[in-house]
Structure 1
Amino acid sequence: MFLTKQQEASGEPLGKMSCTSEIQAAFILTPFVTFFTGLIILFIFRLIWSIFRKWQTINGTGIILVSLPIPDPSVILVFVLSIGSLIIYFIDSTDPVGRCSSYQDKTIPVDLIFNAFFSFYFGLRFFAADDKIKFWLEMNSIVDIFTIPPTFISYYLKINWLGLRFLRALRLLELPQILQILQVIKTSNSVKFSKVMAIVLSSWFTAAGFIHLVENSGDPWLKGRNSQNISYFESIYLVVATTSTAGFGDVVAKTFLGQTFIMFFILGSLILSANYVPEMVELLANTRNYTRSYGVVKGKKYIVVCGNITVDSVTAFLRNFLHHKSGEINTDIVFLGESPPSLELEKIFKCNLAYTSFICGSALKWEDLRRVAVESAEACLIIANPLCSDSHAEDTSNILRVLCIKNYYPKTRVIIQILQSHNKVYLPKIPSWNWSTGDNIICFAELKLGFIAQGCLVPGLCTFLTSLFIEQDKKIIPKQPWEKHFLNGLKNKVLTQHLSDDFAGMSFPEVSRLCFVKMNLMLIAIEHKSKHTDESKHEFRNHIVACVFGDTHSALMGLQNFVMPLRASNYTRRELKDIVFIGSLDYMQREWRFLQNFPQIYVMPGSALYIEDLHVANIEYCSMCAILSPPSKPSHSQTLVDTETIMATLNIRSLRIGSCAHTTSERVATDLNENYGKTKYRRIPILTELKNPSNIHFIEQLGGLEGSLKETNLHLSTSFSTGTVFSGNFLDSLLATAFYNYHILELLQMLVTGGICSQLEQHLDKDKLSELPESCTTFFSGRSRCKLGLLSLDQTILSDIKPRETFGQLFCGTLDNLGILCVGLYRLIEEEERNPENKRGVCQFVITRPANEFKLLPTDLVFCAIPFSTACYKKDSSSSSAPYEITNIMPVTSETNMEISCTPTWSQDLNLGNILLIILPARSNAYHHSTQVITPDPLTMW
């Protein structure tokens, strides 16, 4: 009654009264005293507890404290009540700060109930905390300590004051957690956005509350003489203007505490802006650009690319994909990446904005597959990461992507890259996998090691085969004649066409000669429906040395893919070359279970980095030394991934071997040396694999070839032109090739793997290879297929071909008389002939599909596809060495019972429906002839 009468006498509103400085001090100092007193008590308790634990350890007894989990509903309830208490603060802040609210104000009991619950909840959290001091210093604990004790003061004095209640705004920092519990937000971008908004709003409301308090109260030491009346809204306005560093000057801080706070707040705002404003802009941009759905346009073709979406993989894919349809791109490319693109990757997409799109999502989620409309796509391509540290995990994740895509829409055409060959077996087991509709597998290990294996049989074959499947658009001005010939060989294209009616009944040599002479096309293989049925310590010489780097923990590279092409069935036992692996015994023991069924395989513990180990393997008598890149390891520098192979190459090239210690692969070169009257050192033939093609300059320097083709591009380097280096990076282009023309991919697989059938792969794990079923027709009847060889123009059956002044004459003569298909040349570099002091040995380079009028030299070696029963050397030849044989060209038996054969037997006739594989020379006029034999479709040009 006295308080009411006093308010009526002073003219103040009912429930409001003036707050003296003593009351305000009580509300301000109580939280600080509580905080520091509690902190001191906790430190003392921890000290006592540490002493007690030492005593407890001595006596062998103890007490176990159990932390009680806090349920989610209580977290949500506390957040809601905190927001309610903050709203009550906003309402009370409309009154001057110098006034107190009595219990006649209806908001006071509500706020008291809220704070009572906060006290109870604080006690539960304190009891459940393992580290009491850490809990005491947490943000939420500080908020409770500075807002709950004033509640008890207000209950004791029967009045309430604003005080530090604005700190309840810091509870907004829990907004993202609450939204996630309620499942309002589910994506990572929305979580990030909610965190940024929570930080900004809580900072504004808290800073505005402090400005509102000190500006209305004034500096304590001046007893409020410099105070000013400012509303909470004006305080927010001042804070927002300060955050933007604009500061219009209409609302300013006048107290010393307010001005000091503004200075520090500006610094904090700058830090806050630098950290979160760009992130907000990026989130908004990503939300707008990368979370949308792809708009399917009727009649517009597109493909979906997912998996390893990086700068390198996207650049390689676009470069090779766009070359297929240069000037007339009518297929969109939709990249489905699991994380937003980097700035460099985003730049690539913007440069190709006309036909590329990026959508953030995962191929493992149906909703993301629905956003990119996989069911309407022409194909879905899955890119693997060949430099990953765990290739098995990479293959497994990509196989799961295939499974998810096939489950979502079984008819989707899938082309997948696989790193390890033994993981291929899982894909055909997917019920909706269909080879006939274009589903395909590109195995890195199988193709890469197959290429190197073929290069071990014939020098330069890796370069020859690779040049058929790459396309260079970089302008290079050759300085030497040999450089011109090599670069012209890189301009050939491979395409496939259905056999015309005019070819029906003709033999393969007749059609091949007709295409070569009349149309300037080289027919190298045909695909036809199969007529087969279900009825149907050593003294190493002329061997192959494979240098392997790995240890007990290294991922397996799959050496069986290296051995299988060298042990193909169309080689007799006498033709097989010994294969010697030099490497860690621990690693080779893990690979041995895949190699134990092959004949003439030897493992020598050691390292290619030691000369002694190389001499033990008789490397000076080997026909080829293959240096295989080690399994991928995490590395900060791409240059360092090829350290072992580069050092091994340096080690082997440092060996100087006299010309007397020559092998079959060097016999022709040695004869040439004698013809020129020179005494040369023979260089050991090396085939080096590089994971990073840009490291080619190290190989160029080691071989002394850096003065010729000075290019960091692997395929334009001198080492590549001479067939001494190989990199599997070009296999990235096979995704585009398989999409446009899967027949070419089948041809490549046949060339480098020997056409290994699936039945043979399954039986390689058994103890006896002889237990193969009779149904494995590829194994039993495919032995008579042709082989590729490297023959000289003298001392071989090619010496009987007359005339042979040009490549066209040689091609027609060998095809007509011998049934042999000539596809390329291996020629000496002219500088070698004019420089007898050169110690590098004989250097040769590859010429892919020379022109018809190309002049031959006596020293040229010829890449030939040789029928199985043809003897390559004359019977009266003094040399007893085996011919230069390499790849086993073997039919590839697929689920559709289709085969690809290179240079079929002489009597084999062509039928309607056969598909021809042709090498098309650069700038060929074949399409301008008035003929009905072949009508190429631009879609199949490569």
Structure 2
Amino acid sequence: MLVVADGNGSYGSSSRMSSNINLNKNKDSSVSISKMDLIIPFSPEVPCDNNGQRMWWAFLASSMVTFFGGLFIILLWRTLKYLWTVCCHCNIKNKEAQKVNNPMNSQADGPTKNQNDKEDVPVSEVGWMTSVKDWAGVMISAQTLTGRVLVVLVFALSIGALGIYFIDSSDPIESCQNFYKDFTLQIDMAFNVFFLLYFGLRFIAANDKLWFWLEVNSVVDFFTVPPVFVSVYLNRSWLGLRFLRALRLIQFSEILQFLNILKTSNSIKLVNLCSIFISTWLTAAGFIHLVENSGDPWENFQNSQPLSYWECVYLLMVTMSTVGYGDVYARTTLGRLFMVFFILGGLAMFASYVPEIIELIGNRKKYGGSYSAVNGRKHIVVCGHITLESVSNFLKDFLHKDRDDVNVEIVFLHNISPNLELEALFKRHFTQVEFYQGSVLNPHDLARVKIESADACLILANKYCADPDAEDASNIMRVISIKNYHPKIRIITQMLQYHNKAHLLNIPSWNWKEGDDAICLAELKAGFIAQSCLAQGLSTMLANLFSMRSYIKIEEDTWQKYYLEGVANEMYTEYLSSAFVGLSFPTVCELCYVKLKLLLIAIEYKSEQRESRSRKRILINPGNHVKMQEGTLGFFIASDAKEVKRAFFYCKACHDDITDPKRIKKCGCKRMTYSKMSVYKRMKLACCFDCGRSEHDCSCMSGSVHSNMDSLQRAFPLSSVSVHDCSTSLRAFEDEHPSTLSPKKKQRNGGMRNSPNCSPKMTRHDPLLIPGNEQIENMDTSVKRYDSTGMFHWCPSNDIEKAILTRSEASMTVLSGHVVVCIFGDVTSALVGLRNLVMPLRASNFHYHELKPIVFVGSLDYLKREWETLHNFPKVSILPGTPLSRADLRAVNINLCDMCVILSANQSNIDDASLQDKECILATLNIKSMQFDDSIGILQANSQGFTPPGMDRSSPDNSPVHGLVRQTSITTGSNIPIITELVNDSNVQFLDQDDDDDPDTELYLTQPFACGTAFAISVLDSLMSATYFNDNILTLIRTLVTGGATPELEGLLAEENALRGGYSTPQTLANRDRCRVAQLALYDGPFADLGDGGCYGDLFCKALKTYNMLCFGIYRLRDAHLSTPGQCTKRYVITNPPYEFELVPTDLIFCLMQFDHNAGQSRVSLSHSSHSSHSSSKKSSSVHIPATNRQNRSSKAREARDKQKKEMVYR
């Protein structure tokens, strides 16, 4: 209470006053209040003052004097400056008037006066002030590192001062404290000294001093800095207005932006709202805490109530939220008055800020964090088309149990948050899968997923998009963005159109040698289908080999049992043991199959030629000329990765007598460190096995052996077997299993490798590598028959008008043994890339007379668009029409074709998935319902002779490439070999009306797929993970199915978009010497004795040793396992059967056949039609043997099988 001393009276309520004073600690001292002429605030509850006098007015006065005093000075300065400006302006006007009145004087005095004026200007002073102002501005604007540090430091110290306030709020509002003893007061003093210096910098840098004086941060300093100095002077502390430091929280978002932490508008807005709300809340709570604990001054501070600061915070929150429980409330008049005004603004702020904050938090990306790499664990980034279907297919194959432990974490990056189903899928694989929302086109998102440390980046494409070119363009942009961010990252991307692969070559950092790969779905799809034209069912077998399938055991003796046993096989790679070094590929292949139960089909071979010393090539079923090197990588067909380890662990010394391949594990042999001489001796021994001489007489050691000494020393060591023992064992193995070539003829053999027991005319040297060979001598170098790479047949460009056949012309042509391609499309349809379908059928490892004629049936407008890529291939014709017209189909003799391919370019233009394949399904059912007259086929068979490709009648009788005698022609369309492309896997149920496939059955389990009559692009999804784990897999697939496409050829096609013809040279003709896929018939010929009850393993060894043919599967009639087989002509695929698998005469064997140079030499004319492969109705093949006496075939087969088993002592 404020009381006035008037000299005549004393303080009111003297008795109450005396009682309050008696409570003081100094009870013995007499207390008397002298009369004053001033207003004195006092309180009996101040513990440090004997008379209970409060000094809060001194603290408040220091702040008010500072604020209003400075404001007065600024206003006074502005007033004087304004008056000075007005006076100067008046002087200038007077001087101008004098110049008008006295022009002569002004001219005479002008230069002198102007010079004096210039001298009066304090140039140096103005420059110094400007530089200081600029320096101060830079310091507080965070433009430099020092400035950012200063700004952040000021904010941190402000929060520290607020923390000290929270600590001191538990003490009385005003208390006596010794500066030298109070640690918190010392820290607060240091903070405020720093704030004072920073205030000076801000004042110097301010352009408008008045607005600077009135801004919030300045007001905070006025009411927090001066009271600290007063506290030191008076040795007492007043909590006062120190809560205003909470207003500094408003700058929190600016500080985070300076630190480059906040970058998005939503995050900045969220932090702004939260900081304003919290700072206002804490500041208001501080004011309530002050007035409620102090009381009203006019009530002599008697109406105060003890409230902690956090109770005030609680009071303000329930007030803003309009709840008002009433347990805590304001008692003072100042507090209630403040609450009246605060509830208006606080309620408005609470009602607007809180919902917006909640909305921003709710709209924040749930998957917007950053990936944290785990030490010792790789991670890959998967982006592109991320849907439930694509992700589930990818994860199913990538995380398959048949792979070794996949210690790779998969990080998905997509700009759309996953739906509930996809989110559930991620949660099921949460230990190895993470999802982040973002775009690979944004470098910030690439940094979030740690793309620079990722092992690879996989880009999935939308196979069902309406515009394939646009989808490819988007994926190419993703590649550009990723490569721009990190050029060394390995990228595996899916491409839909083959011609778009050329754009990837334009990216400077794209390098297929470093692991970058583009999986072109159109190219591989067409290649798989083309190989089915050469050997029906091969598309199914290859698709199953490169997909990870679990073994499903079936007890019943059904066709599904044998099919699923083959489905469980996959393609793996493993380095070969050193025990195989020096052996030929057929020998190693036989040993792996018989001993290790593994099927070796290809190796990665490093050429010893000087010009290609560093180049590695993948050789599929090479001949005897290829010897195993140290560290040779083999490609195996096996059921899981653990089985393939046998090829790496195999040791001749330790595992020679083991019959159970599961016991072949890492042996305990000590590894020897061979000297250069021992390595030279081992290589010489391996060479001597070929020439048959002693090592002293051997002269076949090539110079390349010496050059590879150092590299071989660094290769895998051999087991600790002496060189003598090793050579003896290897020589014994060669003796027990003689090479397929004569010992004196070890040059590279390009045709069918025959055993030494064959007639001399069947034993040949390589006609491309031996000088003076007849083929090279007769080679016409003036005619271009092949493309510039020598990989494909080529002809000069044909006009499309010459290739068009009318219906009558097609009927007169009497087509047979050809390929009919039914294509649905129009001028608006996306191109399917028919060149990729034709190229494997025009590979140069076929002779010209072996090429199957290709007839396209479809819209002429569409085929004109595709013709630009087809006009350089021979034997290609077009029948304008529609595949739904039976007249067009009869005109092309579809009943005499080797394969009918049904494609559609309109599949992506329909939204309903069930209707995407309607045209292909209708065409398939249309063909199957057709009926044909057998008399036409008989007449054509009698007149033409039907000598299929590669079946030259001049070949020896025991050659497996002898002529195929065509049986009666097809009379019903259901027996026509057909392969139909599907987009939607579930539509496969409509192709066969007599099957019992469930609509929910997976594609690979359905009968049409198992029979090789249906193909869907979805089976290629597994190539992404297969390519990641082994980049050689994609090269092997492309080598198998594309007919020989290479990166060099892609570069040429990128330049010209067409094959370029080239003259035949020994180098280009040598490219023809590569194996091709064929089918071997068992019902007749040299293998007929094994066809009736023989073992598949005996057939495998005989074909490999006699003709260097590598068998890898069976195409069997569906009902062959029944005791009374029906009339069903459908066949299914059996991949890599076991050795003891029993054969039946109707089986067709998938094999890799060597190129036969002599097959086309006896041909005088290349215009004769040729036919190969087989048809479903006649159970034939592209490899057939003339009829022989088949009496007592079963007994002969058993005798031959028993004899061969006795000879195989190494089993």
* TM-score relative to the length of structure 1: 0.61
Which residue number corresponds to residue 548 of structure 1?
823
Structure 2 CA distance, aligned partners of 1:582 and 1:278?
63
Change in CA separation of 1:380 and 1:673 when aligned onto 2, cut-off 3 Å? same
Change in CA separation of 1:672 and 1:425 when aligned onto 2, cut-off 3 Å? closer
Change in CA separation of 1:730 and 1:305 when aligned onto 2, cut-off 3 Å? same
Letter in 1 for 2:1033: I
Q: 1:693 aligns with which of 975, 985, 999?
A: 985
Q: 2:583 aligns with which of 492, 506, 524?
A: 506
Structure 2 CA distance, aligned partners of 1:776 and 1:880?
27
Q: Secondary structure at the match of 1:729?
A: helix
Q: Secondary structure at the match of 1:394?
A: helix
Which residue number corresponds to residue 591 of structure 1?
866
Assess if the C-alpha contact under 8 Å between 1:828 and 1:860 holds in 2: yes
Assess if the C-alpha contact under 8 Å between 1:759 and 1:776 holds in 2: no
Structure 1 stretches lacking a partner, 5+ long: 1-179, 201-233, 249-272, 887-930, 934-942
Q: Is 1:726–2:806 an aligned residue pair?
A: no
Structure 2 CA distance, aligned partners of 1:384 and 1:767?
23
Structure 1 CA distance, aligned partners of 2:592 and 2:1126?
45
Structure 2 CA distance, aligned partners of 1:429 and 1:196?
48
Structure 2 CA distance, aligned partners of 1:196 and 1:560?
62
Q: 1:572 aligns with which of 838, 847, 869?
A: 847
Assess if the C-alpha contact under 8 Å between 1:421 and 1:443 holds in 2: yes
Which residue number corresponds to residue 95 of structure 1?
none
Q: Is 1:622–2:622 an aligned residue pair?
A: no
> What RMSD in Å do the two structures reach over aligned CA positions?
4.6
Structure 2 CA distance, aligned partners of 1:394 and 1:719?
30
Structure 2 CA distance, aligned partners of 1:756 and 1:443?
12
Worse-superposed segment, 520-529 or 795-804:
795-804
Which residue number corresponds to residue 450 of structure 1?
527
Which residue number corresponds to residue 1002 of structure 2?
713
Which residue number corresponds to residue 301 of structure 1?
378
Structure 2 CA distance, aligned partners of 1:567 and 1:847?
27
Q: Secondary structure at the match of 1:656?
A: coil
Worse-superposed segment, 495-504 or 482-491:
495-504
TM-superposed deviation, 1:317:
0.8
Deviation string 1:654-695 (CA, Å, 9 cap, x unpaired) is 113356666989999x999999xx998761111011111122
Which residue number corresponds to residue 788 of structure 1?
1077
The 5 Å alignment of 1:78-117 reads none
Assess if the C-alpha contact under 8 Å between 2:530 and 2:841 holds in 1: yes
Structure 2 CA distance, aligned partners of 1:474 and 1:509?
29
Which residue number corresponds to residue 19 of structure 2?
none
Q: 1:828 aligns with which of 1110, 1117, 1130?
A: 1117
Structure 2 stretches lacking a partner, 5+ long: 1-256, 278-314, 327-353, 613-767, 770-808, 952-961, 1163-1167, 1176-1209
Q: Secondary structure at the match of 2:487?
A: coil
Which residue number corresponds to residue 558 of structure 1?
833
Change in CA separation of 1:282 and 1:694 when aligned onto 2, cut-off 3 Å? farther
Assess if the C-alpha contact under 8 Å between 1:657 and 1:684 holds in 2: no
Deviation string 1:584-613 (CA, Å, 9 cap, x unpaired) is 111111111111111111122222122222
Q: Secondary structure at the match of 2:1072?
A: helix
Q: Secondary structure at the match of 2:1087?
A: helix
Q: Secondary structure at the match of 2:917?
A: helix
Q: Secondary structure at the match of 1:830?
A: coil
Deviation string 1:918-939 (CA, Å, 9 cap, x unpaired) is xxxxxxxxxxxxx9x9xxxxxx
Q: 2:875 aligns with which of 587, 600, 603?
A: 600
Q: Secondary structure at the match of 1:746?
A: helix
The 5 Å alignment of 1:206-245 reads none
Q: Is 1:283–2:363 an aligned residue pair?
A: yes
Which residue number corresponds to residue 735 of structure 2?
none
Change in CA separation of 1:190 and 1:641 when aligned onto 2, cut-off 3 Å? farther
Q: 1:864 aligns with which of 1123, 1133, 1151?
A: 1151
Bigger relative contact order, structure 1 or 2 (CA pairs below 8 A, ≥6 apart) = 1
Which residue number corresponds to residue 921 of structure 2?
646
Assess if the C-alpha contact under 8 Å between 2:551 and 2:565 holds in 1: no
Change in CA separation of 1:856 and 1:348 when aligned onto 2, cut-off 3 Å? same
Structure 2 CA distance, aligned partners of 1:615 and 1:404?
53
Worse-superposed segment, 767-776 or 543-552:
767-776
Q: Secondary structure at the match of 2:434?
A: strand
Structure 1 CA distance, aligned partners of 2:980 and 2:521?
16
Q: Is 1:369–2:446 an aligned residue pair?
A: yes
TM-superposed deviation, 1:352:
0.8
Q: Is 1:847–2:1134 an aligned residue pair?
A: yes
Change in CA separation of 1:774 and 1:599 when aligned onto 2, cut-off 3 Å? closer
Which residue number corresponds to residue 321 of structure 1?
398
Structure 2 CA distance, aligned partners of 1:290 and 1:811?
55
Assess if the C-alpha contact under 8 Å between 1:193 and 1:283 holds in 2: no
Structure 1 CA distance, aligned partners of 2:832 and 2:1099?
41
TM-superposed deviation, 1:298:
2.5
Structure 2 CA distance, aligned partners of 1:767 and 1:467?
32
Worse-superposed segment, 373-382 or 762-771:
762-771
Letter in 1 for 2:1012: G
Change in CA separation of 1:623 and 1:337 when aligned onto 2, cut-off 3 Å? same
TM-superposed deviation, 1:377:
0.7
Q: Secondary structure at the match of 2:479?
A: helix
Q: 2:501 aligns with which of 417, 424, 427?
A: 424
Q: 2:432 aligns with which of 346, 355, 358?
A: 355
Letter in 2 for 1:283: N
Change in CA separation of 1:184 and 1:859 when aligned onto 2, cut-off 3 Å? closer
Which residue number corresponds to residue 739 of structure 1?
1028
TM-superposed deviation, 1:301:
0.9
Aligned-pair identity (%) = 43
Letter in 2 for 1:647: L
TM-superposed deviation, 1:329:
3.5
Structure 1 CA distance, aligned partners of 2:564 and 2:1104?
26
Assess if the C-alpha contact under 8 Å between 1:804 and 1:810 holds in 2: no
Structure number, greater radius of gyration: 2
Q: 1:402 aligns with which of 459, 474, 479?
A: 479
Letter in 2 for 1:604: L
Q: Is 1:387–2:460 an aligned residue pair?
A: no
Worse-superposed segment, 497-506 or 458-467:
497-506
Letter in 1 for 2:900: C
Q: 1:338 aligns with which of 415, 418, 433?
A: 415
Change in CA separation of 1:795 and 1:870 when aligned onto 2, cut-off 3 Å? farther
Q: Secondary structure at the match of 1:628?
A: strand
Letter in 2 for 1:844: R
TM-superposed deviation, 1:529:
2.2
Structure 2 CA distance, aligned partners of 1:452 and 1:466?
11
TM-superposed deviation, 1:321:
0.3
Assess if the C-alpha contact under 8 Å between 1:337 and 1:360 holds in 2: yes
TM-superposed deviation, 1:187:
5.0
Q: 1:611 aligns with which of 886, 900, 907?
A: 886
TM-superposed deviation, 1:633:
2.7
Structure 2 CA distance, aligned partners of 1:484 and 1:671?
33
TM-superposed deviation, 1:881:
6.3
TM-superposed deviation, 1:392:
1.0
Assess if the C-alpha contact under 8 Å between 1:685 and 1:724 holds in 2: yes
Worse-superposed segment, 798-807 or 681-690:
798-807
Change in CA separation of 1:629 and 1:185 when aligned onto 2, cut-off 3 Å? farther
Structure 2 CA distance, aligned partners of 1:837 and 1:859?
13
Assess if the C-alpha contact under 8 Å between 1:311 and 1:345 holds in 2: yes
Structure 2 CA distance, aligned partners of 1:768 and 1:350?
48
Structure 1 CA distance, aligned partners of 2:362 and 2:935?
69
Change in CA separation of 1:428 and 1:880 when aligned onto 2, cut-off 3 Å? closer
Assess if the C-alpha contact under 8 Å between 2:382 and 2:413 holds in 1: yes
Change in CA separation of 1:414 and 1:882 when aligned onto 2, cut-off 3 Å? same
